[in-house]
Amino acid sequence: MRAAVRDLSREVAHAGARDPAPRAGRRAAHRQGALEAGQTLLGGGGRPGAGRSSRGRTRLAAAAARRGGRCMTMAALPVIDAAALVAGDPSARRALHAASRDVGTFRLAGMPFRRDAVSLARRLFALDAAARQQLDIARSAHFRGFSVMHNERDWREQIHFARERPARAAGQPWHRLEGPNLWPPDPALRCDVQALLRGAEDIGRLLLASLAQAIGASPDAFGAASDDAYTLLKLIRYHAQPDGGERRRGVAAHCDFSWLTLLFQDDIGGLQVLDRGVRWIDVPAAPELVVVNIGELLQFATWGDLFAAPHRVVNPSRSRERLSVPVFINPPLAHTIRRVGRQPAAPSWPDPAHIHRVLPLAQVADAGVEHLHFGASEWRRKGENIWCAECCAAAPG
Ligand SMILES: O=C(O)CCC(=O)C(=O)O
Ligand SMILES: [Fe+2]
């Protein structure tokens, strides 16, 4: 394991992180109870027509209460101890697997650079207009740089970086996704962006290897050892809500097209995840914890055992912008994603509203679809702008 991950274990030890395993076990029981009891315990907010008969609800609520079940609250989002994962603790791996399967979102304790990520976003968005113009994504052949997104899905500004590589002369369309970044004039910013990418990749490797081991596969089943990953770093600024008007969403409900995503956020809040079709729950902004969302690629690779968490953002503030920094942990573009394990009898978790997904859920469950080429799929999403299987179905290819 690399230096950043070793540092991480020291951080966790200092932070005095608790052993997550018993906590996760209790949480899983609570969650199970809450889900089974449906709207009775959750106080509404589920799909219309999804409730059980009132006799059934009462019985299930009573059963949940007997097990100590109660409604899943924000505080119940699992917290995973990175130091225990570094140490190879099997109970931490089990907690990681349970969180990734039952919720699709968890928070990781002991990430050393959480504050740096948000302050880096602050420094980049403070660049003057001329410097920002230099970073305009329109100047990049490789989808890097600054863009203002005001469309049906996004209301925010963002800056994209990835690993610095030379552009390829010719080849597959997806080769265009790799190439040089657009860099701000201050070299310190460039160093800090690259350090953040490297550190996040170390954490990504740790999580991918731990998840693979937790499901009984080889540690490299999700390419955790790959040195050639297509890791994307996005720094985001959400506008404050306009005075008097209706609240505007920052990003609509979606899943990430990644193995998994590490998400650093400031103290404003506004991120919500969908607890398996039941209700939206707030993900509190906790300075010492980093949010991790399982992405569509792990969901595909595991036949839906690991759950790509639908999530969305509304900046709750009328006076302050919100800053966040997702790092999308991906395979190399040349990688073909193969299924791991056997096809399970996947439970169905119906969506309460439309969720933007790159892969249709039917494809995740389709035994006839054995693999997925990441570069080709990523090109379709980014290069051809087919960012949602449903919304963009009729879009020209
Ligand atoms: O800003 C956030 O908290 C989430 C951003 C996000 O989900 C995304 O860009 O994919
Ligand atoms: Fe996302």
Residue 271: CB within 6 Å of ligand 1?
Answer: yes
Please give the CATH topology (third level) of the domain spanning 2-382: Jelly Rolls (2.60.120)
pLDDT at 134: 96
Angle at 311 between CA 366 and CA 369, to 5 degrees: 10
Residue 157: CB within 6 Å of ligand 1?
Answer: no
Give the separation between CA 240 and CA 373, rounded to whole angstroms.
39
The rounded Å distance from CA 312 to ligand 1 centre is 7
Give the separation between CA 85 and CA 177, rounded to whole angstroms.
32
Query: Which tokens sit at 291?
Result: 């949010």
Token pair 């991790």 is found at 292
Would you give per-residue pLDDT tens digits along the chain (397 residues)? 333 333 332 322 222 222 223 333 333 333 332 222 222 112 222 222 222 233 322 322 332 332 233 334 434 799 999 999 999 999 999 999 999 998 999 999 987 666 699 999 999 999 999 999 999 999 999 999 999 999 888 999 999 999 999 999 889 999 999 999 999 999 999 999 999 999 999 999 999 999 999 999 999 999 877 889 999 999 999 999 998 888 899 999 999 999 999 999 999 999 999 987 788 999 998 878 999 999 999 999 999 999 999 999 999 999 999 999 999 999 999 999 999 987 766 656 778 889 999 999 989 989 999 999 999 999 999 999 999 999 997 544 4
Token pair 């225990």 is found at 84
From 313, 322, 388, give the residue whose CB has the most ligand 1 atoms within 8 Å, as the site to mutate.
313
Give the separation between CA 164 and CA 90, rounded to whole angstroms.
36
Residue pair 182/134 in contact (Cβ under 8 Å)? The answer is yes
Residue pair 151/249 in contact (Cβ under 8 Å)? The answer is no
Which residues lie closer than 8 Å to 369 by C-beta, 6 or more apart?
363
Helix (H, G, I), strand (E, B) or coil at 163: coil
Atom of ligand 1 nearest to the CA of 324: 1
Count the Cβ atoms, other than its own, within 10 Å of residue 103. 24
Give the separation between CA 225 and CA 223, rounded to whole angstroms.
5
CA atoms within 13 A on the CB side of 284: 11
Residue-range domain boundaries for the chain: 2-382
Query: Quick one: which H or E segment has residue 391?
Result: none
pLDDT at 113: 66
Which of 226, 257, 202, 217 has the alpha carbon at shortest distance from 2? Answer: 202
Which of 326, 178, 197 has the alpha carbon at shortest distance from 261? Answer: 326
Which of 182, 205, 178 has the alpha carbon at shortest distance from 193? Answer: 182
Name the closest ligand to CA 296: 2
Query: Which tokens sit at 170?
Result: 């010719």
The type of residue at 227 is D
**Dihedral sign for Cα atoms in the order 383, 324, 85, 214:** negative
What's the Rg (C-alpha) of the chain? 21
CA distances from 137 to 53, 117, 176, 180, 236 (A): 53, 21, 14, 12, 14
| Helix residue spans in 215-277 (DSSP H) | none
Token pair 């099997």 is found at 90
Which residues lie closer than 8 Å to 188 by C-beta, 6 or more apart?
none
Protein residues with C-beta less than 5 angstroms from the ion ligand 2: 256
pLDDT at 343: 77
Residue closest via CA to ligand 1's atom 1 equals 324
Sheet containing 311-313, strands listed edge to edge, beginning at the edge strand earlier in sequence: 251-254, 311-313, 271-275, 279-282
The rounded Å distance from CA 17 to ligand 1 centre is 26
Residue 251: CB within 6 Å of ligand 1?
Answer: yes
Query: Quick one: which H or E segment has residue 105?
Result: strand 105-109
Residue pair 395/385 in contact (Cβ under 8 Å)? The answer is yes
Length of the chain counted residue by residue: 397
Residue pair 363/337 in contact (Cβ under 8 Å)? The answer is no
End-to-end Cα spacing for the chain: 42
